[in-house]
Chain A
Amino acid sequence: MDFVNILFNILTSGLPCCLLAIGVFLTFRILDFADMTAEGSFLLGAALTASLIYNHINPFLATFLGMIVGAGCGLVTGFLNRILKIPKLLSGIITLTASASIAMLIMGITTPGQIFYSQVPLSLSSHQTIYSVFYSSKISASLAPFPWNKLVESLVMIVIVGIMIVTVYYFFGTEFGMAIRATGMNEKMAKSQGINTNISSIACVAISNALIGLAGALYVQDALSVSTVSATGYLVIGLASILIGEAIFGKRSFKNWLLSVSGGALLYFVIITIAIKLGLPTELMSLLYAILITIALCIPLFKLGINKLKTKLERGKEHVRT
């Protein structure tokens, strides 16, 4: 049962991060926009969803609103960058900085008499999440110790992530989607081809952060608590997922690229889980993140080295023969 538990843990923590990774991918790779907003929209998505669920609002509506608040963050960053002409990195940092306060303001609605609050604890007994809607205590009890609830949770996540991947894939094949891709790759060309690059950029950042906000919403309903401290470091996870996915699964076409990135997120959690199981102290986690990213970035170099070695060996063989 230990293996099954580990598997479901990887799935339930990895699947929300698939959306996170795709969100970061859309700005980082498609739009060529190093978007720091990700961290903020993840936190806001999680905070808003948790606060709404805490106040017994329909969890599906709460999740949807979590996604919208993410899109809002993206709109602000896009506006700062494209209309107010603030550099990309800085406009992301501005939104990120603001989002911490706004998250506390949002979480303040959970405690009467308080305006600001820094965390929201949820409990399954009194609050309903989009996963717990589908829980069934009967089946769960009869199948114990099989983690039935975790299975349901994973399935709900898979459906949502699947829908989002398909939507993103089709969206970027539409006329507007192509305009966004052209903007990211060659803005001068995009403009001369009649694309309003301000609109396409802002839309892309908003869509990206909507996905990240949704990732936050899915995450918080699994973790059942959110605080301004716990929801940090997710930008790095997104970036690492992209790099690992690209290095291992490739980026031959847009479809392949999209799937690689989501696969990268899952793989990332496999590696982290193995590291924890091997007894790596959590204090060393950040170091592991850094090493992982470095390795992922160096994989093309390794591949090149291996190819060189191969040709050398082959030449050597020929030399022996002659």
Chain B
Amino acid sequence: MLELKNVTKTFNLTGNKEDLRVALDNVSLQIESGEFVTIIGGNGSGKSTTMNILTGVIKPDKGKVLLNDVDITEMDEHQRAGYFGHVFQDPMMGTSGDMSVLENLEIAYLRGRTHSPFKWGFKSSHKKEFIKELQRFDLGLEDRLNQKVGVMSGGQRQALTLLMATIRNKPTHKMIKRDYIKFSEKKPEVARKEFDDIYLPALEEYKRQLKNLKHLPKEIRKDKKAEFYEEFDKKVRQFDLTKQILLLDEHTAALDPKTAKKVLELTDKIVKENQMTTLMITHNMKDAITYGNRLIMFHMGHIIYDVKGEEKQKLTVEDLLKKFDEADKKAEQE
């Protein structure tokens, strides 16, 4: 669960007191895991600021950001990156133009991990997985793995960014333990003990199984080893709490209508397949209604409308426009 608690953010770009601009005014928001939230609102209403506060690009003046009830307000952007996938409006922003498709994907695969100066950055096992993922996109990117991203079209780059934001290397056992202790509802000591109670015997057993394999011929040994590892791995993975949250900041705004539609459909497909918690900012009210299962409307740093489930499905563009007008009138009266 992702939560904003009484968040306030004021921008003061010139240092002049009269130029203060309140981007978010005491905003609280709770997003359950698995929700696909579409966010609409005028320019400067605080949509992007909300997203940037969630990912840690900017820090709030007041208030807290909670992930699974753990305060992450003070965590830096790169420390949180393992939990968030962020797609920006500008297609140039999310990829590195001078690096190849493969290199970009490897960077994404390392998200949330330490970057070792001794481990080689490319692994052939990853490459197979990337090709498999890229084939689903049907943009011909799988044949252009070694091409620089800079020569590709905006649509292709944005699709790649989307993949980079959603692809995730399986967390290591160490990471699972760290996140379990941090984000489970139990007390840290309890969580640690619980993890170790399962992990240590499993590891012990796996080692024992490996020992027994020694006398077997090489080919069988390899298969058996993989089998045993899978069994061991499965026991540890049940503790895997961290699910990626996908943040989409008008990610189709800079694309032509046809490509935009394609990227949106891809987004929807990926989100549904992986049951990802997703926040999507859009200026297209039709998209905001069509996609997702919750809709939030921002206006001048406040959330003025929040609708879920069936009620959301009944919404029409006219309803939303009416809401905007009401909000505008109310603001004028004040």
Contact = CB atoms under 8 A, between A and B. Distances in A.
Interface of A: 170-171, 173-179, 181-182, 185-186, 188-197, 200
Interface string B113-150: 10111111110000000000000000000000000000
A193 B108 contact: yes
B103 A178 contact: yes
B115 A193 contact: no
B55 A193 contact: no
12 contacts: A174-B117, A175-B120, A176-B115, A177-B117, A178-B99, A178-B115, A186-B92, A189-B95, A192-B57, A194-B110, A195-B78, A200-B115
Contacts, number: 92
A2 to B, nearest CB: 44
A182 B93 CA distance: 12
A196 B78 contact: yes
A107 to B, nearest CB: 34
B interface SS class? loop
Contacts of A193: 81, 107-108, 110-111, 164
B47 interface: no
**Residue of A177, A182, A189 contacting most chain B CB atoms (<10 Å):** A189
B106 interface: yes
A21 B323 CA distance: 62
Contact of A192 (B77, B121, B122): B77
Given A185-B99, A186-B96, A193-B164, A176 B78 contact: no
Interface residues of B, number: 36
B96 A185 contact: yes
A32 to B, nearest CB: 10
A178 B86 contact: no
Contacts of A175: 110, 113, 115-117, 119-121
B120 A189 contact: no
Contacts of B97: 185-186
Nearest to A179: B115
B82 interface: yes
Contacts of B88: 188
